[in-house]
Amino acid sequence: QVQLVESGGGAVQAGGSLRLSCAASGRTSSMSSKAWFRQAPGKEREFVASISWSGANTYYKDSVKGRFTISRDNAKNIVYLQMNSLLPEDTAVYYCAARSAGPSRYGYDYDHWGQGTTVTVSS
């Protein structure tokens, strides 16, 4: 089993920054790609960013490109999401996900999920 625990959420004003962390434990050696998804109130969960095992390949939702950066520290089994220039529409619960294959934009491709961390951006 793989356990994922997110942290770093909070309340910020528009234009501010937050860094989310996702710590993995358990059979992490079987997990290759990691991703961040988010779900805003009343909306479906959506892809935000994903990263390959090596970190060489990263993918982003168009609306976060240039503002968010996904990275990972495999020695610590942590994946980060640095979020800058936050907008009110970034308000959501952010989830970390992991899978054994390459990065994907689709939630159904991921085998393991964290419980989420809440980000609230006020205008």
DSSP string, 27-89: SGGG--EEEEEEE-TTS--EEEEEE-SSS--EEE-GGGTTTEEEEEETTTTEEEEEE-S--GG
Looking at 1-123, list the stretches that DSSP marks H as alpha helix, in order from N- to C-terminal side. none
Contact (CB, 8 A) for 60 and 48: yes
* Whether the predicted pLDDT of 30 surpasses 80: no
Contact (CB, 8 A) for 65 and 110: no
DSSP 109: G
As given in the structure block, the two tokens for residue 2 are 């793989």
Looking at residue 29, its pLDDT comes to: 66
As given in the structure block, the two tokens for residue 93 are 């619960």
How many C-beta atoms surround the C-beta of residue 67 within 10 A? 15
How many C-beta atoms surround the C-beta of residue 110 within 10 A? 23
**Tens-place pLDDT, residues 42-99:** 999 999 999 999 999 999 999 999 999 999 999 999 999 999 999 999 999 999 999 9
As given in the structure block, the two tokens for residue 24 are 């993995």
